[in-house]
Amino acid sequence: MIPLMLVLFIATLDQTIVAASLPTIARAIGNSDQITWVTTAYLLTSAVTTLIFGKLGDLFGRKAILQIALGIFLIGSLFSGISDNIWFLIIARAFQGIGGGGLNTLCMVVIADLVPARERSRYLGIAGLVPAVALIAGPFLGGFITDIFSWHWIFFINLPIGILSLILIASYLKLANPNHDSGVKIDISGSLLITVGTTTLLLTLSLAGSTFAWASLQIISLFLVALLSLIAFVFVENHTKEPITPISFFKSSIFSISSLQFFLATAALFVGMVFTPMYFSEIRGYSATAAGSSIIPMLIGLMIASSLFGEVIARTGHYKYLAVLGSLLIGLASLLLIGLAAHTALWLILLALFIMGFGQGAMIQVALVAGQNAVPYQQIGAATGALNFFKSLGGSFASAIFAIILTNSHSFGRTFFWIVPLMILSLILGLFMPEKPLSKEMIDVAAGKEEVPEY
């Protein structure tokens, strides 16, 4: 359990520790217009590998695949730490994300393998506390390490923890040999197509109107590549035996709406995580430690709401109204931040961030529970993986697109304002979402008594 929890810690820590340090990195290596791609690149690659590492573990053994994923993550961390220009850093982060995408999934699956069913929820609950601690510690640690040492050490910190974990896993983790004749297939075509499609679509939206004109040959070509890749992805997923994302899930309006709401809620989350430290650093002149710590109220709100509403859903069996509530709260918080300026009252900003996080926690909890409940329980792992894929896409799209909004408007307040239309869309989706009674298994999942490792 110790090395597995250490891996969970650094995998989760990476998300918030990097977001908190982006302003400092931008000042150190320049190219502030591209700085959000440091986050976006990681999210894009990890989104896809999250969906395939579980199946690789089935084929080749979860211990071996966990070690490979961790090794890739650590090599990516090393190259990120020694980077001296923005493009080298972005490429290193994309490589790091390839490994990072499998760490949470594989650790939870390994724990489920090791522990008898009757004790599983207790051990998974203990393991689940680790990401929560890392989520809150990340912003402070990111700023503190940057102030005391340098931004390079937010990546180097992964190395001693990860290497120790590798040694302990190699020495102590004993798992049954994989069944190579299990018939499990890896959807390589689907993985490549969705990676090309989402990346080129993001590049199109990032470069259009700034680097290249909307009607330029470059933008039209990128858009066509994205469109054709995504169309081909849908075709492949419909015809392959074991798709990376079963298209049949989206025949359910509940699952489709849950996926979109997960995307929108995570988009709002990453706007707060990425641009709040930038505001406090660039506009108010805060240190890296103080600027990074500014997002902690939002993360606390998110954790409180996730824990509270999971229990509420389990007891009442109802969840639809929480999606509406979450959309309204995030929209309200965004309106409170529209006037963000150098002398905006600190208490108002922190209150707005807490409200935003609370709304995000409600929406994320509903999206997960409703989406999981919309599919047969035997497919819940695949459904969780697909939902988390939309979560990662929401974060990557928000990091890239809202950076363009900030560059064009030169106003953090206007940047937060554009969360409001997203929440109006989310509100409409929530009002029209059908509500399916929770299965007995899903009541346990919502209450936190059962963890669902995604495949």
Sign of the CA dihedral running 399, 405, 409, 415: negative
DSSP single-letter state for residue 12:
H
CA 333 to CA 299: how far, in whole Å? 14
Residue 322: which of 385, 258, 271 has the closest Cα? Answer: 258
Say how far residue 111 (Cα) sits from the centre of its chain: 21
Task: Judge whether 11 and 132 are in contact, CB under 8 Å.
Answer: no
pLDDT at 231: 93
pLDDT at 309: 83
pLDDT at 450: 64
**Residue range 264-287, pLDDT digits in tens:** 999 999 899 889 999 998 899 998
pLDDT at 114: 81
CA 293 to CA 285: how far, in whole Å? 14
The series of mean pLDDT values per 10 residues for the chain, 455 residues long, is 90 85 85 80 84 76 89 96 91 92 82 71 71 84 88 93 93 75 71 86 79 85 92 88 82 90 92 91 89 90 85 81 92 92 92 94 86 80 80 85 85 92 93 82 68 56
pLDDT at 434: 86
CA 63 to CA 18: how far, in whole Å? 28
Return the SS3 of 448: coil
Residue 11: which of 69, 65, 86, 58 has the closest Cα? Answer: 69
Is residue 413 exposed (0-12), middle (13-18) or buried (19+ Cβ within 10 Å)?
middle
Using CA atoms of 397, 288, 420, 371 in order, give the dihedral in degrees to the nearest 10. Answer: 50
Task: Judge whether 289 and 306 are in contact, CB under 8 Å.
Answer: no
pLDDT at 224: 94
CA 50 to CA 97: how far, in whole Å? 9
Using CA atoms of 321, 326, 329, 333 in order, give the dihedral in degrees to the nearest 10. Answer: -170
pLDDT at 138: 85
pLDDT at 347: 94
Tracing tokens 């506009």 back to the chain, one arrives at: 283
pLDDT at 31: 67
- Residue-by-residue DSSP string for 60-110: H-HHHHHHHHHHHHHHHHHHHHT--SHHHHHHHHHHHHHHHHHHHHHHHHH
Residues in contact with 444: Cβ distance below 8 Å, sequence separation at least 6, in sequence order:
121, 314, 450
Q: Which two tokens stand for residue 110?
A: 């390994």
Task: Judge whether 332 and 277 are in contact, CB under 8 Å.
Answer: no
Task: Judge whether 403 and 36 are in contact, CB under 8 Å.
Answer: yes
Task: Judge whether 25 and 143 are in contact, CB under 8 Å.
Answer: no
Task: Judge whether 19 and 277 are in contact, CB under 8 Å.
Answer: yes
CA 411 to CA 254: how far, in whole Å? 36
pLDDT at 41: 87
pLDDT at 183: 61
pLDDT at 261: 93
CA 177 to CA 65: how far, in whole Å? 12
